[in-house]
Amino acid sequence: MSYLLGVVLFALAILISVSLHEAGHMMTAKAFGMKVTRYFVGFGPTLWSFKRGETEYGVKGIPLGGFCKIVGMTPQDDDVEPGDEKRAMWRYPVWKRTIVMSAGSAMHFAIALVALWIIAVSAGLPNPKFPTTEAGFRAEPAVIALTPCVVVENAARACTSSDPASPAGTAQLKDGDRITAVNGRPVSTWGDMLDVVRGTKPGPATVSYLRDGTPATATVDLASVQRPPLDDPKGATSAVSALGVALQPSTPTRVEYGPVAAFGATADFTGNMAVQTAHAMQRIPQKVPALWNAITGAERDVDTPISVVGASRLGGEAVENNAWLVFFMLFVSLNFFIGVFNLLPLLPLDGGHIAIAWFERARSWLYSKIGRTDPGRVDYLKLMPLTYAVILVGGVFTLLTVTADVVNPITLFSR
């Protein structure tokens, strides 16, 4: 039940953010004097609506987005009534049209920033000083926390009575001990310790450690377990040794901030998120074959793109496991991605309209400098084949992601 609640809540949160996207277009258009005739949440048949002034507001039957109708977005639009010619959007200065068209993405960014600020002061953001190596391994000292057991197979689950006890616990190591060597091989970080332990044969091994600053040694009977390579969590498993410990972080993985300091932390985190989003978008074409493989039965790569369906399922998992921080961080990431994606210079995205507006402006300036007649506005009708191509590619990609999210979804938690 909690899973279904999470799915519904996340889908509703997405619908609200998309509705605010359209509200951003509407409010800025009205502020500049453009005529907005309709603002609806959803598509399809109208369930309820009312008219205030010159704008009809309402809700439609298919809750998969929303739209607002600004009169005269292009010179080719035939929705301009007599007397409204001067209020057609395409007649306004390019900077005003740019603000209106980018206001949707600005809304997504605003939602993400506000949510991040709230998270920063309540639950904390990832610690930017949390030490990791270039390969992503923990670079902290190997300070251990004993686990109750070792799970022999490669699975994330709780211990059972049939699982062998922690070798480190059996050898009387304690929480807070810092491992310094295994069979004489020095260990300086947690990543080093994992590497050395896995490279040591199962069975008795001499483990050197520090306890309250005092050096000591213990003979630990290393367990044999099945694990994938450290640098390839999706790779084939093999028999390696395990100590039966977890990392006891000496540096907090998250940092809570005061209301003022949270602004700077939010800005820094947003900058890192922008870089990661750019990299993720660059990898999308490379991930299409992996999506197809997931649909046809291969294991789903967690790095493949997801649809709104997949994101909602992950939101459901988060609520089911009481991981609300995951829920909200997923919501933040999705809003940021939508905001960036919508600014790509491709029709029918908002970024495509912005690009055309500035192309017209630059072309007019150039022609005036060389003494040629201004060629005027771009003919959108001539761009329709390209627009249809973008819609087709986007539709196929959406179908792939939705299908993969239904038949072979990404999961964050064991269910």
The residue with tokens 């939010």 is 266
CATH number assigned to the domain comprising residue 184: 2.30.42.10
In a domain, 228, yes or no: yes
Looking at residue 74, its pLDDT comes to 86
Mean of the pLDDT values across residues 94-112? 96
- Compute CA distances 296 → 91, 300, 397, whole Å: 50, 10, 16
Q: Is the dihedral of CA 287, 288, 291, 292 positive or negative?
A: negative
> Is residue 174, in this structure, part of any structural domain at all?
yes
- Residue 164 in domain: yes
Spatial contact of 400 and 292, defined as CB atoms under 8 Å apart: yes
Query: Does residue 122 belong to any structural domain of this protein?
Result: no
| pLDDT for residue 133 is more than 70 | no
CA-CA distance, 287 to 300, in Å (whole number)? 11
- Using the CB atoms, write b or e for 303-321: b if 16+ within 10 Å: ebbbbbbbbbbbbbbbbbb
Could you read off the pLDDT of 206-216 as tens digits, one per residue? 999 999 989 99
Residue 386 lies in a domain: no
Closest CA to 66 of 115, 17, 105: 17
| Contact (Cβ atoms closer than 8 angstroms) between residue 384 and residue 292 | no
Strand-pair partners of 103: none
Beta partners for residue 315, in sequence order: none
Nearest Cα neighbor of 109 from 264, 268, 274 is: 274
In a domain, 68, yes or no: no
Chain segment 217-247, per-residue pLDDT in tens: 999 999 999 998 887 776 788 999 999 998 8
Query: Rounded to 5 degrees, what are φ and ψ at 179?
Result: -70, 130
pLDDT at 29: 96
| Total structural domains within the chain | 1
Catalytic residue among 22, 153, 256, 320: 22
Mean pLDDT (the chain) is: 89
Q: For residue 299, is pLDDT > 90? A: no
Q: Confidence class of residue 293 from pLDDT cuts 50, 70 and 90?
A: confident
Mean local confidence (pLDDT), 392-407: 91
Indicate the burial class of 218 (C-beta count within 10 angstroms; 0-12, 13-18, 19 or more).
middle
Which one-letter amino acid corresponds to residue 121?
A: V
pLDDT tens string 188-208: 888 889 999 999 999 999 999
Query: What domain range is 191 assigned to?
Result: 144-247
Among candidates 108, 103, 409, which has minimal Cα distance to 273?
A: 108
Residue of 36, 38, 79, 41 whose CA lies nearest to 59: 41
DSSP 301: P
**Has 22 been annotated as catalytic?**
yes
Rounded to the nearest 5°, which phi and psi values hold at 301? Answer: -75, 125
Is 19 within the bounds of a domain?
no
C-alpha–C-alpha distance, residues 292 and 295, integer Å = 5
Asked if residue 135 has pLDDT above 60, the reply is no
**Which positions ≥6 away from 387 have C-beta within 8 Å?**
347, 348, 352
Instruction: Tell whether 151 is covered by a domain.
Output: yes
Q: What is the mean pLDDT of residues 341-357?
A: 93
CB 207 within 8 A of CB 182: yes
Q: Determine the pLDDT at residue 2.
A: 84
The CB density around residue 62, as the number of other CB atoms within 10 Å, is 10
Instruction: Kindly tell me if the per-residue pLDDT of 295 is higher than 80.
Output: yes
